Amino acid sequence: MSKREVLKIIDETKEAKRTHLSLFNKGMQELPSEIGRLTSLEQLDLSDNQLTKLPAEIGNLKNLRILNLEYNELTELPPEIGELESLEELNLGKNRLRVLPDELSQLSSLWRFIVRANQLERLNPSIRDLSNLVELDVSENELESIVSVVGNLKKLTLLNASENLIKTVPAAMAGLINLSNLDLSYNNLKKFPTSICGLPKLAMLDLSNNKIKTVPRSIEQLRALKSLYLRDNQLQSIPKEIGELLTLETLDVAYNEIKHLPKELINLHKLQDLDLENNPLIYPSKAIANQSLYAIMLHLTYGIDPTTSERIYRLEIPLEENCNIVFKQYMSYFSEYIKATKGRDIKCEVFSIKDGIRLEMIYTDLMDLEELQAYLQEYLYLLLSVKNINDSIFEVKLPNKQAEYTFKAIQHQVHFALSSFELNDYSTKSLVDKIEEIINCLDVISENAGAAMPESKPGPAAG
């Protein structure tokens, strides 16, 4: 577009008293000084041209709120840009700026400032005066550090400083009390910036593609964190304190040197996406990690390898308050009972639930469901008669001393449970009725431990 055509558009805009003007992609190499006549202008789009500089008259646009200069060839800005007292949004992305004028600090209404993909080597300390700044994008520059005065920007919620040469993060960053999104990916950080661990509203943290070797225990302070990206660093482990990040939904630690995952990951009930690609995992194994988030959580919670034939049998038992604790304690011995009398291995965990208990028993296909239910029935019937504790309960031959010890251990569990029922005024009739009720409930579904589940409910991690 020729200068004459641009001037014609400026005249038409002036005459019509328009508040918006777009000169996007007009092939302009120069912006006429007459632009300063448009004093009513509120939005000006000059993006995608070949502008190398701006006229001083740009400072006359006192009512301008939004100025877009992205995708030009600007190498400098006139000091008059600081006179745009109403400016709220300024986009200088994709230019050739090496320095910014100090006069930018006079833009007291500015809340969004984009200066990505330039050639900046430093940020002016005067940036501290942009007290209303909410979003700051300085990505794709040549910054080696973040000036400490950034910590004065108390209203800042988004800071993107990715794809720079940053080596350190100032302690003053701890002052960004409203920061919710921080992107420091693709830099030269060798240490995790501990100064950000106290940020109370930080929800997204991206430290990918750096040289970080350890994650500090103080990461547990980031209680609002939803997304944590640490891929392509030099991490060898994840601290157990990661389990304190109860709001975490995404954890990306791909392309590191991690061998073991902390069991505390099972506390992350909201976790939906866990990326472990290209790590030399030992625990859990790569085979498990490659299956699904559910498979990982199942292994961390119960030690189950979902690539095998292990299965889970769940049973919820409604109980009155005066027998709840006694039943829970008695059922906690069930695994040992099966091991001692049948020579079989199962894992039985007992959980308190509202108005009762829940049994979760892990067994293999070498023991079918009917067999497991029969063992459970036998164990419950021991409470009805001590005479049931006899040689018939043994399916393995034990040495005399071991058999005698096992008899006494089982008798102790039964007698202790019966005494506790009596102390809690739980009658024999009530006990008989309750056991019959439980026996009638035994026909429940057995779930394959490796069965697929919705990603939003990653098995045991869903609590």
* Mean pLDDT, range 410-432, rounded to an integer: 89
Residue 437 is predicted with a pLDDT of 87
* Mean pLDDT, range 312-340, rounded to an integer: 89
Per-residue pLDDT at 342 exceeds 90: no
Residue 399 is predicted with a pLDDT of 84
* Mean pLDDT, range 231-245, rounded to an integer: 97
pTM for the model: 0.74
Contact, 205 vs 196, CB < 8 A? yes
Residue 65 is predicted with a pLDDT of 98
Question: Tens of pLDDT along 128-153?
Answer: 999 999 999 999 999 999 988 899 99
Reading the block at residue 381, the tokens are 């019937």
Confidence class for position 309, pLDDT limits 50, 70, 90: low
Per-residue pLDDT at 451 exceeds 50: no
Question: Tens of pLDDT along 158-186?
Answer: 999 999 999 999 999 999 999 999 999 99
User: Cα–Cα distances in Å, from 85 out to 23, 66, 108, 131?
Assistant: 22, 11, 7, 14
Residue type, 433: D
* Mean pLDDT, range 174-199, rounded to an integer: 96
Residue 133 is predicted with a pLDDT of 97
Name the more confident of 306 and 90.
Answer: 90
Per-residue pLDDT at 345 exceeds 90: no
Reading the block at residue 305, the tokens are 């390898």
Q: What is the mean pLDDT of the chain?
A: 90
Residue 83 is predicted with a pLDDT of 97
N- to C-terminal Cα distance for the chain? Answer: 64
191-206 in b/e form (b: 16+ CB < 10 A) is ebbbbbbebeebbbbb
Contact, 183 vs 139, CB < 8 A? yes
Confidence class for position 443, pLDDT limits 50, 70, 90: low
Residues whose CB falls within 8 Å of the CB of residue 73, separated by 6 or more in sequence, listed in order: 50, 51, 52, 95, 96
Of 24-38, 208-222, 319-333, the range with the lowest mean pLDDT is: 319-333
Residue 56 is predicted with a pLDDT of 97
Question: Tens of pLDDT along 85-118?
Answer: 999 999 999 999 999 999 999 999 999 999 999 9
Residue 460 is predicted with a pLDDT of 40
The Cα diameter of the chain in Å comes to 110
Contact, 113 vs 135, CB < 8 A? yes
Per-residue pLDDT at 404 exceeds 70: yes
Per-residue pLDDT at 458 exceeds 60: no
Confidence class for position 313, pLDDT limits 50, 70, 90: confident
C-alpha span between 398 and 341 (Å, rounded): 9
Residues whose CB falls within 8 Å of the CB of residue 308, separated by 6 or more in sequence, listed in order: 364
Residue type, 175: G
Highest mean predicted confidence (pLDDT) among 25-34, 416-425, 430-439, 453-462: 25-34
Question: Tens of pLDDT along 28-75?
Answer: 999 999 999 999 999 999 999 999 999 999 999 999 999 999 999 999
Name the more confident of 137 and 335.
Answer: 137
* Mean pLDDT, range 342-356, rounded to an integer: 87
Of 222-226, 327-331, 456-460, the range with the lowest mean pLDDT is: 456-460
Contact, 37 vs 16, CB < 8 A? no
Question: Is the CA virtual torsion 42, 43, 49, 52 positive or negative?
Answer: positive
Strands 311-318 and 356-363: antiparallel
Residue 445 is predicted with a pLDDT of 42
Residue type, 248: L
Reading the block at residue 231, the tokens are 């891929």
List of long-range contacts for 404-412, beta carbons under 8 Å, 24+ apart? 406/340, 406/341, 409/336, 409/340, 410/337, 410/340, 410/341, 410/382, 411/386
CB neighbours (10 Å) of residue 229? 21
Question: Tens of pLDDT along 12-23?
Answer: 999 999 999 999
